[in-house]
Structure 1
């Protein structure tokens, strides 16, 4: 039995539902205010500036803003500003800077440029009175308290929630807005996955390489799972969109490299199932399927079954809990400390 009693990361995973509820309670008036200005100015472009886990939250947000808000969404390449002094026009854009620490110098420079040009600039951080909070008309705090584990859990989850909420309020769609209050409960329900996650850890305990696959809404989640596994377990974990993997990387597939497939979005399931079938047939890989469909679960050598009613966007939150638990338990099983990854800092600064 892997003991989690001394893990700060494990403790903070279980704090997430409460933190999400507080985040919504405090920030909903700000979400509405930002949405009102975006609509009043007719802004149709949103740019996210972020690194690491924050960037993965933004990957999900791109889909939400383009699908539901009719906005062109992109993720900034800060070096365009900080290294090349690019002449990017943010005067009629919504720029959202996202960082747990708020100390990301390069993200700040993108936000500052937006401010100077008269665009709408929003800062999202978990720490107050930081560099990023000095830029932008609007400031949103994650409201999840201090993270004591270097490996981020609750700050990532609340970033997902904040970007999700902004898209919902800008879209004006009642079903998306009402869904927000359900998301903390979905995360609370997903905490019950613990026994299923523990059951699959032995296969991954002694490996050195693994793959993760998602698509659409679940692709950013696969990227986040990759990062969490890399920094806690020192595994060569690599994530791919199932649509991209066929275009070259599939040639590197090996039988002894196991893979986790996130298959819980009716809009994209067919693509991932097709890739899974091909890799089983041609490479005979070992697979773990994380899904909301018992029939799909049977396709894998092992599986983790999330509640069937959570599909698409709701599945992202449940699968995020899986990814966090998996990374923490895998690290502990390998005798590593998931709270203090070697070479990783809570306040990583890039320029």
Structure 2
């Protein structure tokens, strides 16, 4: 089993997660609502850190929770952890083995705070130092580049948001996600041809905003670790505060822009980049005007709600990375200098 298999497993993995873990997450949401929690202190690395970006926007928007993203080195290297008061400490990790993430959770417990692990390894060291554990149920993930564990982390975060709000009507939208991912996967042949057009690409920027800030960062990471392209992610707002100056005619700009609150801002920026600099524009969207604007486009499901769109939008990005890696002649199963489990102190 390899990377492509795990990309295509995602509809089944997400469906399994919803079916098996919703009762646990629903009960956890009720318990957390009854507690005196002022904010979430969230710790993660790599792909899991990008899941944390999604939590920052989703829990902030729907649950009105402030989210602080931890600096693990304060705990594991400098040994000068901040004082955390009335925080819920959450660790997100596929393997649950990275010592720096575990050190944050251990300090949370030392300070008497509630701790929650979101992991694919419910018997891991991370799980053992946590009061609650949510198993993301992604199943064994052997490919070095994380795919199904990432979308399962996003779905877990979305399910917890629904449970915290106590509004199970939103759960209906989550139950549609596996079919939405399956619909995107049906475009695999077209995405392969699209990706081959970028086989000589050495650099690009990846833009998103709001919920899909996470998607921009995760897509850029997959481009870097699989294709060795210097892919730099930005919030579309931050991009305009300096980095926009580096683009030129033909420069590849990848934009994640489904319909939603931030669409108009993203569309305006993409239009300006296309008109003034004639960039090479690749768009992920379900808005007709965005698809028409792009040099290359991948269509997202039309009825996709913005708040769940990151769970679906990253999947065509994964396929682009898989096919581009092969087009460049690199090994999708053995990216250089990487291993499946990364342990940082």
- Within a 5 Å distance, the mapping from 1:15-94 to structure 2 comes to 15-94=9-88
- Further displaced range: 96-105 or 38-47: 38-47
Partner of 1:232: 226
- Within a 5 Å distance, the mapping from 1:289-300 to structure 2 comes to 289-300=283-294
| Shift of residue 229, structure 1, vs aligned partner | 0.9
Asked whether 1:212 is paired with 2:206, we answer yes
Partner of 2:90: 96
| Shift of residue 87, structure 1, vs aligned partner | 4.2
**1:165-196, Cα deviation, whole Å (9 max, x unpaired):** 11111122233233222222222222112133
Within 2, Cα distance between the matches of 1:196 and 1:217? 26
| Shift of residue 26, structure 1, vs aligned partner | 2.4
Distance 1:87 1:212, change over 3 A: closer
3-state DSSP class of the match of 1:296?
helix
8 Å CA contact 1:48–1:76 kept in 2: the answer is yes
Within 1, Cα distance between the matches of 2:189 and 2:135? 33
Q: Structure 1 runs of 4+ off > 6 angstroms?
A: none
8 Å CA contact 1:91–1:114 kept in 2: the answer is no
Partner of 2:173: 179
**1:192-250, Cα deviation, whole Å (9 max, x unpaired):** 12133123113211111111111111111010000111111111111111111010111
Partner of 2:337: 343
8 Å CA contact 1:265–1:315 kept in 2: the answer is no
Q: 2:259 aligns with which of 243, 265, 286?
A: 265
Instruction: Give the total of aligned pairs.
Output: 345
8 Å CA contact 2:155–2:311 kept in 1: the answer is no
Partner of 2:296: 302
Within 2, Cα distance between the matches of 1:201 and 1:320? 15
Partner of 2:193: 199
Partner of 2:134: 140
**Structure 1 gap segments, 5+ residues each:** 1-6
How well do the aligned residues superpose, as a CA RMSD in angstroms?
1.5
